[in-house]
Amino acid sequence: MVQYLIDPTQYSLTPYALPPLVMGFIAVLSGILVLLRERGSQVGWTFWVFAMSAGMWLLSLGAFAASSNPFLALGWAKFSTVGATFIPSTMYLFTLTIVNRVQQFRVHVWLSIILSCVFCLGGVSTPW
């Protein structure tokens, strides 16, 4: 299955695939650079988690747009929901970390993560 995903003959780079791929790589790279620069601080980790979810969403959208096989495109579309559903909760966590109020709103943070998991499971496991 993995060989099928990385087979270059299954993809064709189109003008619609290039912007999300470029921005996805930039998001992942910025998350890694901030994590290294902040030397593993709580702000660095939460930004890294946010950047990884945004990068996962954008990279999978780019792969979806570049897919020439409809079944492969459907797989990438479902995978993009994993990153997309966690963007709001990771952004919320990152914002609360910056203003140093995570402990005050920890119940809200957990509720948003649980809600993201519910939406993620719904997006991945259902045909909707």
DSSP code for 25: H
pLDDT on residue 7: 83
Over residues 4-42, the pLDDT tens digits come to 777 888 899 889 999 999 999 999 999 999 999 998 799
Answer yes or no: is pLDDT of 55 > 90: yes
Contact 108, 73 (CB under 8 A): no
Strand, coil or helix: 99: coil
pLDDT on residue 5: 77
Report the share of the chain in percent with pLDDT over 90.
76
Instruction: Report angle CA 18, 74, 15 to the nearest 5 degrees.
Output: 15
Contact 53, 90 (CB under 8 A): yes
- Model-level pTM? 0.90
Per the listing, tokens 């979810």 go with 53
Q: What is the mean pLDDT of residues 44-53?
A: 96
